[in-house]
Structures are given as structure tokens and as C-alpha cells.
Amino acid sequence: MKKAILSALIFVPLFAGCVSTTDTSTSANLDRNTAVAELTTRMDTLGYFHPVAVQVGIDEFLNMSAIILERQRKVMGEYRTQTDNYRDVQAFLYAHQKSTPEQLQAAIEEFDAGAKNKDEEIGHKIAAYNLANEGIYQQNVELATDLTVEIAKSAYILSQHSTVIAKVTALKMGGNLVSSWLSSDEENAEQEEDPKDIGTALIKAKDQLALALEANEIIELEQATITAINELQLEQEAKG
């Protein structure tokens, strides 16, 4: 139980960001939830449709980039669901974020002693919260491995098509400059992209990997911190 408590303790402060310690747990949760929600929206806006067929030799890379973003989107959704499902745990841990493990354990015991029934106790909810996130972490580790491979591939593929990518990038920049004086219909026509264009497809794949990496690192940060805390706790227990 103590290890589960230590693991859970790190969740809320990590996403509090610039929120001061005098802010409420609601503010911290809103900051974290907003960040995750905005990232999810960016994923959906960019899109992850597959399979696509643009050109032999790069289609595998294009499709894998879309698949990875779709998988990372799913993991991010599961993570978001868990935080929503355990709002009481989030609030409790944030309220005791400055506590030592011993103080937190005492606070849990005091809280549970006043609970009217098992469902109101917080201790088992904290353990369940950590257990629920273990599967998410495992999926995230697997995705990190795939991301490393595809990002390495992208460096080579993008360098081989640097000319067409530069052309598409320049056209996009030019389109942004004239969009202010175009009508809505003209603007939509101007900004419509050809999904079969190699440069456009490669830029989208690059952006898909970048978004997937951003989401992966959010979850990885929590996992790395929790692992460090658990290892420290094991060392302390070994010393008696």
C-alpha cells in the first residue's frame, strides 16, 4: 500500500505546472485537463486516417505515422478517463502534496477512519488508481519504442524530399499572408490541400509524429518520476 501511495502522490503536482501551492485542487485539475484536452483536439484536427497510398517507398512511413498517432490518441484518452474517474483521489493527493509518505499514510488512515462505508474510504481508491494507470504506462512505453524508430526513419525520408517539403512550406506561409483579404469560400479553396501531394503528406506525417511524441512525453514524465520514487522507497525499506 505504501508504494501505491508514493506513486500516486506525484500525479497531481506534475500537471499543476505554474499553479502555486495556494491554488485549489480544482484549479490544478483544470490546468491539467485543459492541457490534455487541447492536445487531444490538435490530434483530431490533424487527423490519423490510414491507409493512404501516395508513393511507393514512403507509404509505409506515412501509414505508420498515422497509426502511431491514432494509438497515442487512444492511450491519451484512457489516461484522461482515469483522471476523470478518480477526481476524489486527485483532490486528496493535491491537498497533501507537501506531506511526507508517513504523513500521507496517517492522513489516509484518519480519512478512512471517518468513512461511513468502504466506498467512502480513500486508501483503496489510491491503490486502484495506480493499478489502473499501470496498463496505460505499458502501452506508452511500447509507443515510445515505435516513435523512436519512426522518427529516425523520418529524418532520412524528409531529407530525401527536402525540395518538395520546402515548396509546400513556402506555399503555406504565402497562403497565411493572403487569407486575411480572401472571402470564406476563396480561403477554403486556397487552403485545400492535395492528400496525394508528396510534400503535403510528408509534412503531415512529421506533424503526426511530433504530436504523438508530445503526448507520449507527458505520460512518460509521470512514469519516470513514479519509478524513481518507488526505487527510493525500496532502498529505504532495504535499509530497515
d(CA 31, CA 14): 11
What predicted TM-score, i.e. pTM, was given to this entire model?
Answer: 0.73
Burial of 196 (0-12, 13-18, 19+ CB in 10 A): exposed
Each of the 240 residues of the chain gets a pLDDT tens digit; together they read: 555 555 555 444 444 333 333 344 455 455 667 788 899 999 999 999 999 999 999 999 999 999 999 999 999 999 888 877 888 887 787 788 777 777 878 888 899 999 999 889 988 888 787 788 889 989 999 999 999 999 999 999 999 999 999 998 888 776 554 555 554 554 444 456 677 899 999 999 999 999 999 999 988 876 765 565 556 556 666 776
Which amino acid is residue 54, in one-letter code? V
Q: What letter does residue 54 receive in the DSSP assignment?
A: S
Give Cα separations from 189 to 92, 102, 186, 212 (angstroms). 52, 63, 5, 29
Cell of 36: 490534455
For residue 155 the three cell numbers come to 529524418
List CB contacts of 112: < 8 A, sequence separation 6 or more.
121, 122, 123
CB 13 within 8 A of CB 94: yes
